[in-house]
Amino acid sequence: MKKTAYIAFALLGVIWGSNFIFMKWSGEEISPSQIVLLRVAFGFLPIFLFALAKRALRWEHVRHVHHFVVMALLATAVYYFALCIPLVTWP
């Protein structure tokens, strides 16, 4: 493997892994529900703004919103909430 691949892999691990440390620290100040809300909001907003900037969203896509709500609940909100509770309550 190339040296740049190792550097990219290490950088990805630091960025992704530090997120769990921040969740642990924030658990001392806010509830798991608030952590999930902030994670989902800060994940959704950049993607939404990018889609608006690229004009990738159309009114025809509104009919699929209920599918995206279910996907968001199952893929992010429930998962993050289940992950936050042990991180926050861990001694």
pTM value? 0.64
DSSP 7-71: HHHHHHHHHHHHHHHHHHHHTTTS-HHHHHHHHHHHHHHHHHHHHHHTT---GGGGGGHHHHHHH
Separation of alpha carbons 88 and 83, rounded Å: 9
Q: Which residue has the higher pLDDT, 77 or 34?
A: 34
pLDDT tens figures, 30-60: 888 888 888 888 888 898 899 999 999 888 8
7 has a pLDDT exceeding 90: yes
